[in-house]
Structure formats: C-alpha cells, structure tokens
Structure 1
Amino acid sequence: MAEFRYNPLLDDWTIVAGNRQSRPDMPKDYCAFCIGSGKVPDNYDVLMYENDWPSMKPIPDEPDDISTDFYKTAKSYGKAEVILYSPNHNDSIYDLSDEHVLKIINLWQERFTAMKKDKHIKHVLIFENRGKEVGTTQPHPHGQIYGYGFVPLRIKVELENSKKYYQQTNKSLILKIRDEELKENKRIIMQNDSFVAFIPFYTDYPYGIYIVPKADNLNTIEDFSDKQKYDFALIIKHMQGTFDTLFNKIFPYMMGIYQPPFNDKNYTDVNDYYHFHVKFFPPLRGENSIKWNASSETAAWAKTNPRIPEETAIELQQAYEKYKRSL
C-alpha cells in the first residue's frame, strides 16, 4: 500500500510506501539491469525501466481507511521510473562516449515531457543516488525520475524565495547566484559554452556543486537546443570524472535536476522567476570522512558546512585539471 499523508506542521505530504519494505535484497551475483537478467532487452544503450517497487503510481491504490477529520490522506498519484545509463554493470558516466551521454540527456528530456502530460503530476525530479555512502545498493549505472502528485516542500520554499526576489528586482534568483559566482570567479570548477559548474558561496555540503545554464531563458530541459544538450552532456560527464579524480575512487553523491512545477494554478507565472539548474549533494567532507546530517541539521534544518567552500573549490579545480590531462 502507498498513499500520501498530510503533515500540517510543514504543509507538506509524506509518501507512505509500505510496499517498498518488501523489496528483496539482491544477491551480489545478480543484477536486474544487466543484459541476460530477463528484466531488460537483450540489447540497449539507455533505457527507461519501470520501477519494480514504485512509491507513486499513475493509477494509485485507494488509501488505507485511516484518515480522520484532522489527519488527511490522499492517493499517491505520480510516477517512479529508473533510467539505465548503460548495459555495462561497471560503467561510470565518464567512461561513456559523448554521444552515449547525450542519449541519457535525450531520454531525460523525453520522460520529462511524457510526465508533464499527466494532469495529476505537479513536479518532476530527475535524480541520481551514487555510492554506498548514500545508501545505493545497486551499483549498475542508473538514475531515477519521480513525477510527484504534489510540489515537494523544498521546491515550494525555493519557489517562494525566488518569486519574492523577482518581485523586488525583476530578476531570477538562481541566475543572480550564477552571475555572482561568475563575477567573483573563486568557486568556479568548470564551464563550457552553455553551462557553468561552481560551489556556491553558501553551500552546506563541502563539495556541493551547482550546474547552471549560461542562457537566461532555460526553464526546463525541454527548452534546450541541440548545442545546449550536447554541452550539458559534457559538463555532467566531466563533473563526475572530476569527482572520481579527487580521491581516486568512486565519489558518492545525490544529484537533483531542478525545474519549475506545472499543472498547478499556484505557479502559472513560475517561468518568470525559476530556472533550470542542477544540484549535487556529496556526503564526503574528506577522502574517508562523512559529513553526517546529525541532530542540528535534521531537527532544526540548521545547515552546517565543516569545510571552507573556497578551499574545497580549489581541490575540485585541481582535480578537474588532473582529470583533463587523463582524457
């Protein structure tokens, strides 16, 4: 059973997905995403794989009969998909050709467009969990796409602050952050014709990279030109290669692609003030040290960065130079 339960303290919904507790632990000698498993085609480059244990569905089950006059439940409308980056179990994105990574970008774009057509879906998050440090149990190269039947809390907060800034300045907040980083030029890690990657001034993760377009008119991945899609593929590829070069090992991270919500009357003017960007949330603060979100971060949302952003930016800049020499 999966359902949404409303949290009145946060004006947010919790996805209660009891069915996911039944997910089996896969044996180490079996991978459902590898060719020959019987779960995927005998030949593929990139692939959308229907999540075997979805927390949201286009045709959801009825919620349990547990709501009251105070506590509200709702059907868990949405979509949960897996995006397989490669048939090869041990590939990393930077192992793939530029053209292969472009196929991943095209599939992200295709699935985003398809999910938007469902009137019950309000927001789409393209994301990736990489490494055992963030709980990934399946190392086969893949990411996921969730289409939510509501606008999640973090997105609502960012939208509220972005709209407030736009009303005061007539400018996009995420683009202003980009421009400040380009002007200071202290925390820029890499850039190409279409995108720039940097550690923002305020990051709470020591290696918390943002990727932001250089153009001012990109709200969603649907807006990308062919050139911008290719450049996006390159910067995603080189960013992962730089991460792995930093400590000469698989670098764990959580990554999310942020885009405006849709199918929601509260955000009809959202394209004026909220623009496409990518955020990385890597849990490392050093080669063998984890930045844990402990009580202060979790209980009070009081974010703490144990490293100085300008110093970790230099580490990643040097790793990028070393990575480029290896190409």
Structure 2
Amino acid sequence: MKKTVTTLADGRELIYYDSRDDVVREAADTRPLDAVSTSSEIRRDPLLGDSVAIASHRQGRIYHPPADECPLCPSREGRQSEIPEADYDVAVFENRFPSLAGDSGRCEVVCFTSDHDASFADLTEERAGLVLEAWTDRTAEFAGLPQVEQVFCFENRGAEIGVTLGHPHGQIYGYPFVTPRTELMLRSMAAHHAKTGGNLFDDVIAREEADGTRIVLATEHWIAFVPYAAHWPYEVHLHPRRRVPDLRDLDEGARTEFPQVYLELLRRFDRIFGPGEPPTPYISAWHQAPFGIPDREDFGLHLELFTIRRTSGKLKFLAGSESGMSVFINDVPPETAAQRLREVASQ
C-alpha cells in the first residue's frame, strides 16, 4: 500500500491509498473554495446523559446530485470534484460538511472506488483489502488526536438509509466522547465479568457456535452470525476469532481473509429478497474500543451489518416503541434470517 497525503483548496486533508507503490499523485485542487466554516456543538442531554451534535451548517450539504456532478468521482476536464486526480483506488478526505469538527471531533469521507456505479460488493478482494488498510490507518491517525475518544468507521448504502450521495463511500467519525451504544456494551461487559469471570464477547461467540442455528458463515479467522436478540430484520455480527480491541490489532491471517468474508456477506445481502429486487439498503458499522478506558483489551472489535428492509418492498420504520422508548420489535426471527442468509450463499 502507498499512502499520499495532500490538501484540498480550502485546506482540508486528502489522502490517497494505492495498491501500487509506483503511483504518483500530483494533481492540485484549483477550485476557488472558501475556508470551511462549521458550527458543530456538543450538547449533553440532562435526562438521558447522552450527547447530541448540533451542526446547522450541514443543512447546505450536497443532496442527490446528478451522476455527472458527483463530488466523489474523479476530476475531469472542465469539472473538478473533491478528488483532483483523474482516477484513484481509495481516497479519504475531511468532510466539507462535518457533523463533528475542531474540539468536537473529526469527520472524514472514505471513497471505496472511482467507479460511480459500483458498490462495495463489486470490489475485488484486493480493493476491499485496501479499504481495510485505509480504515486501519485512519484509526491509528485518529488515536493521536487529543479530542478523539472513539473511532467509528461505517458505510450507509441506499437512499432508504438516507444517503445523500450515490457514489460508493463510507465515513469515519472521531467522537470526543464514548458513544451511548458503546457505553451500554461496556456496562454489559463489566457486569458479565463480575458475574461469571468470563469475557462477554468470547462467551457470546461460544454460545452462538454451540447453538449453531444463527451462524451465517465461519472461517479460520472470522465468524458471522445473526445475534440472538437481533434488533433489525436482517442483522449480522462479524467477529474476528482472535479478540482484539480495534482494527490496528488484527493479525495477518484475519486481514488476509477479511475481504473474502466481507464481500460474501454483502453479496448475500443483495440476494436476500430474490432476483429482480433493487440493491438491499444497509448500514455497516465497525465497533472499536474507545481510547483510554479501563480493561480496553477486553473489548471485542466487531462489525455489525444490517438492513432496514424487512421484506420485498417494505421497510422497517422506527416508530413509537423504537423511537419513543428504544424498545425494538423485530418482525423476522433471527433463526429465520440466518437460514435465509445461508440459503443465498455464493455457489
């Protein structure tokens, strides 16, 4: 992997990740851009104890532009984008409309490919591996920022999810606090250890393997299963078999095997609802240990992949119980979801 760091016309950082070492990235961003002005503010909810990012400047962000005006495509004669080069492998840049900025954290955009019409599932294993290296490198960089306590690498795919740009891309958030979802995991982890003396992540995986009905796929270095109490209609958790706190600690075997495993999961998601169906909308989210917490090594890095589509032509909406009280109601039994995800395996 070759990494090239440069800046955009308004001073934001841009990083190219290339598979070949002989690639030269010298194209300059000559757009007449004003300096980025953000109004991100973190406010604490006194009743729930969680944090909300107030980011009014995001109201003006680009929304579903036509393909020939996509800001994530490579630049071409007569039209410059966020990426000055005429082509690229993987590119990462600071978000022009960040939810978190300055003392409130950092947000970056990760472009998986220069092909506007592709999806992550269309990538080669080599390119998927390069994305993993980019995620890992960015996690390491964020770890050195004093305002960042937790790194979140994720992808939203599909207009139903709320994606505003159709180009295949993800994002990385560097939160200045530990997120509420992670706080709950840490609390459960501590309670489980106090009660059993064991590690929660290890014991969950062991239980799923012993039961077997919710296993989606299992390899030498990775295991994927639908969780026992899945919140979403089709939800898969992917864990490395050797527990590590974040992406930086994955061993070579897990890194080598990840592209094959992850691409297979994404391709199965697109086959859940049968031929002729539009691509399955999904969220893919890496859960990494926050920095500076006690017993950080006990946290289990894992990826959670889920869709809001519950059946053909119907979405799972977060209505009264889910949005009002955070109590999920799942229409698809986890065992049924796992069986379907096994049925649509690549031949």
User: Normalising to structure 1: TM-score of the pair?
Assistant: 0.88
User: Which of 97, 116, 136 is matched with 1:53 structurally?
Assistant: 97
User: Which of 102, 112, 119 is matched with 1:85 structurally?
Assistant: 112
C-alpha separation between the residues in 1 aligned to 2:40 and 2:117?
A: 33
Mapping 1:281-292, distance limit 5 Å:
281-292=306-317
Residue 243, structure 1, aligned to residue 269, structure 2: yes
User: Which of 273, 276, 287 is matched with 2:301 structurally?
Assistant: 276
User: Which of 129, 132, 137 is matched with 1:102 structurally?
Assistant: 129
Residue 319, structure 1, aligned to residue 344, structure 2: yes
C-alpha separation between the residues in 1 aligned to 2:137 and 2:305?
A: 22
Q: Which amino acid aligns with 1:307?
A: V
Paired position in structure 2 for 1:222 = 248
Residue 25, structure 1, aligned to residue 51, structure 2: no
Residue 56 of structure 1, CA deviation: 1.3
Q: Deviation per CA, 1:24-64, whole angstroms, max 9, x where unpaired?
A: 3343131111112432122310111221101112x34xxxx
C-alpha separation between the residues in 2 aligned to 1:80 and 1:197?
A: 28
C-alpha separation between the residues in 1 aligned to 2:261 and 2:166?
A: 22
Closer/same/farther in 2, CA of residues 104 and 169 from structure 1, 3 Å limit: same
Residue 302 of structure 1, CA deviation: 1.1
Q: Which amino acid aligns with 1:52?
A: R
Residue 255, structure 1, aligned to residue 298, structure 2: no
Secondary structure at 1:209's aligned position in 2? Answer: strand
User: Which of 13, 18, 30 is matched with 2:51 structurally?
Assistant: 13
C-alpha separation between the residues in 1 aligned to 2:250 and 2:142?
A: 17
Instruction: State the number of aligned residues.
Output: 300
C-alpha separation between the residues in 1 aligned to 2:69 and 2:81?
A: 11
Residue 4, structure 1, aligned to residue 42, structure 2: yes
Closer/same/farther in 2, CA of residues 94 and 116 from structure 1, 3 Å limit: same
Asked if the contact 1:172/1:275 (under 8 Å) is kept, the reply is: no
Paired position in structure 2 for 1:63 = none
C-alpha separation between the residues in 2 aligned to 1:130 and 1:25?
A: 15
Q: Which amino acid aligns with 1:129?
A: N
Residue 34, structure 1, aligned to residue 73, structure 2: yes
Residue 176 of structure 1, CA deviation: 1.4
Q: Which amino acid aligns with 2:256?
A: Y
Residue 191 of structure 1, CA deviation: 2.0
Q: Deviation per CA, 1:249-286, whole angstroms, max 9, x where unpaired?
A: 311111210011014xxx222222x1101112310111
C-alpha separation between the residues in 1 aligned to 2:40 and 2:214?
A: 42
Residue 158 of structure 1, CA deviation: 1.1
C-alpha separation between the residues in 2 aligned to 1:50 and 1:259?
A: 20
Residue 296, structure 1, aligned to residue 321, structure 2: yes
Pick 1 or 2: higher relative contact order, CA cutoff 8 A, min separation 6.
1
Residue 149 of structure 1, CA deviation: 0.5
Asked if the contact 1:35/1:87 (under 8 Å) is kept, the reply is: yes
Secondary structure at 2:336's aligned position in 1? Answer: helix
Paired position in structure 1 for 2:12 = none
Residue 125 of structure 1, CA deviation: 0.7
Asked if the contact 1:23/1:53 (under 8 Å) is kept, the reply is: yes
Q: Deviation per CA, 1:214-264, whole angstroms, max 9, x where unpaired?
A: 113x1111111222112122221111111112224311111210011014x
Secondary structure at 2:153's aligned position in 1? Answer: strand
C-alpha separation between the residues in 2 aligned to 1:172 and 1:257?
A: 19
Q: Which amino acid aligns with 2:45?
A: N
C-alpha separation between the residues in 2 aligned to 1:305 and 1:151?
A: 27
The answer for unaligned runs of 5 or more in structure 2 is 1-38
Residue 129 of structure 1, CA deviation: 0.5
Moved more, 147-156 or 163-172: 163-172
Q: Which is helix-richer, 1 or 2?
A: 1
Asked if the contact 1:20/1:53 (under 8 Å) is kept, the reply is: yes
Residue 44, structure 1, aligned to residue 88, structure 2: yes
Secondary structure at 2:234's aligned position in 1? Answer: coil
C-alpha separation between the residues in 2 aligned to 1:160 and 1:149?
A: 19
Residue 139 of structure 1, CA deviation: 1.6
Moved more, 228-237 or 6-15: 228-237
Residue 111 of structure 1, CA deviation: 0.1
C-alpha separation between the residues in 1 aligned to 2:69 and 2:288?
A: 35
Moved more, 24-33 or 136-145: 24-33
Q: CA RMSD in A?
A: 1.3
The answer for unaligned runs of 5 or more in structure 1 is 61-76
Using the aligned pairs only, state the percent identity: 29
User: Which of 240, 251, 257 is matched with 1:213 structurally?
Assistant: 240
Q: Which amino acid aligns with 1:50?
A: E
C-alpha separation between the residues in 1 aligned to 2:185 and 2:96?
A: 31
Secondary structure at 1:246's aligned position in 2? Answer: coil
Residue 134, structure 1, aligned to residue 173, structure 2: no
Paired position in structure 1 for 2:191 = 164
User: Which of 197, 208, 212 is matched with 1:181 structurally?
Assistant: 208
User: Normalising to structure 2: TM-score of the pair?
Assistant: 0.83
Asked if the contact 2:155/2:170 (under 8 Å) is kept, the reply is: yes
